[in-house]
């Protein structure tokens, strides 16, 4: 039986292999140090309880997980997170898609409009929070004075989380719009020309050509926005203060993670909250990856 002939590697191939690894090495190191290692550290810490005065770790096994599932504050935070995501994700996608279709056409000042809409994405979160706290102020806020209302936008437990979701929508539509414009520019104009010859209207072209061919971009934006919405923290932290009566109805899981880890110095319980959020995110992502086979069309 003839033995297998070994393929000799040339010096150029070895050089390309080495240089390829050298180029990706900084990214690989960053991924391991900043992502992989912290994940395992978090899982490890979730089985411990921080000792008195924040010193030392006490092994408690599954006690933190049992406590999480019995903690009403955790379930309330999970409900708040879902409320935020249910409002922020669909509206930010729909509004951004409409703006992208409108601003993808040839028009005067198109670049200016794109820049204005994208500006909230690059604005400092602290500045955004300050502006919207003033807009939502129940006594002298611009929104109440402009529409002659007396609504307590961020202090009413019934609507506070939805008010924060409005800020999230305003902040992210510019980024989503840029992604959609990029996807729209990849659609061949031949499809639209053929549809016009057949007498199709703009609405029919949108739902029968634009949406199906843009579905990969829509899926990418949707899956990244759901993950981002589940991790909402900065808006809640900067808009809501500790004395706000609606704080309990707006704090998210990441907000509780921050509170238990950095304020209460209970790193183990905070890590358990993060693991819970990670599992929920993985489940939702898996469902999306399965469902996308039915409505996402790849060229």
Q: Specify whether the CB–CB gap between 277 and 230 falls below 8 A.
A: yes
| Averaged pLDDT for residues 184-205 | 87
Q: Specify whether the CB–CB gap between 204 and 194 falls below 8 A.
A: no
The pLDDT score that the predictor gives to residue 56 is 74
The pLDDT score that the predictor gives to residue 53 is 56
User: What tens digit of pLDDT does each residue of 69-100 get?
Assistant: 999 999 999 999 999 999 999 999 999 999 99
User: What tens digit of pLDDT does each residue of 224-266 get?
Assistant: 999 999 999 999 999 988 888 898 899 999 999 999 998 888 8
Whole-number Å distance between alpha carbons of 190 and 192:
5
- Choice between 50 and 20, residue whose per-residue pLDDT is larger: 20
| Averaged pLDDT for residues 2-20 | 74
| Averaged pLDDT for residues 101-119 | 88
Domains and CATH numbers, the chain: 11-59 (no CATH), 64-295 (1.10.3720.10)
pTM: 0.88
Does the pLDDT of residue 8 top 80, yes or no? no
Does the pLDDT of residue 5 top 70, yes or no? no
The pLDDT score that the predictor gives to residue 286 is 95
Whole-number Å distance between alpha carbons of 125 and 167:
10
Does the pLDDT of residue 143 top 70, yes or no? yes
Number of H helices, E strands in the chain: 14, 2
The pLDDT score that the predictor gives to residue 54 is 59
User: What tens digit of pLDDT does each residue of 162-192 get?
Assistant: 999 999 999 999 999 999 999 999 998 888 8
Of the pLDDT bands very low, low, confident and very high (cuts 50, 70, 90), residue 14 is confident
| Averaged pLDDT for residues 193-198 | 86
Whole-number Å distance between alpha carbons of 100 and 223:
19
Of the pLDDT bands very low, low, confident and very high (cuts 50, 70, 90), residue 132 is very high
DSSP symbols for 142-209: HHHHHHT----TTT-TTTHHHHHHHHHHHHHHHHHHHHHHHHHTTS-HHHHHHHHHTT--HHHHIIII
């Amino acid at each position: 039986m003839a033995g297998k002939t070994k393929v000799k590697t040339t010096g150029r191939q070895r050089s390309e292999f080495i240089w390829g690894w050298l180029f990706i090495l900084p990214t690989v190191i960053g991924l391991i140090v900043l992502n992989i290692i912290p994940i395992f550290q978090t899982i490890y810490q979730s089985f411990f309880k921080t000792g008195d005065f924040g010193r030392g770790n006490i092994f408690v096994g599954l006690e933190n997980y049992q406590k999480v599932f019995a903690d009403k504050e955790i379930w309330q935070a999970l409900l708040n997170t879902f409320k935020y995501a249910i409002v922020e994700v669909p509206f930010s996608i729909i509004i951004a898609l409409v703006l992208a279709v409108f601003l993808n056409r040839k028009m005067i000042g198109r670049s200016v409009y794109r820049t204005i809409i994208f500006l909230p994405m690059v604005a400092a979160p602290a500045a955004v929070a300050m502006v919207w706290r003033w807009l939502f102020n129940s006594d002298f806020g611009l929104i109440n004075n402009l529409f002659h209302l007396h609504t307590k936008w961020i202090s009413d437990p019934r609507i506070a989380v939805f008010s924060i979701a409005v800020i999230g929508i305003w902040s992210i539509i510019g980024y989503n719009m840029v992604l959609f414009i990029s996807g729209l520019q990849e659609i061949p104009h031949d499809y639209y020309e053929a549809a016009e010859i057949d007498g199709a209207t703009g609405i029919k072209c949108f739902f029968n050509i634009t949406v199906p061919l843009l579905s990969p971009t829509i899926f990418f934006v949707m899956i990244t926005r759901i993950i981002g919405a589940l991790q909402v923290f900065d808006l809640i932290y900067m808009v809501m203060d500790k004395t706000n009566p609606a704080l309990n109805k707006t704090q998210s899981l990441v907000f509780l993670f921050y509170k238990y880890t950095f304020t209460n110095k209970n790193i183990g319980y905070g890590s358990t909250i993060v693991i819970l959020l990670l599992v929920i995110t993985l489940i939702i992502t898996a469902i999306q990856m399965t469902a996308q086979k039915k409505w996402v069309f790849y060229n």
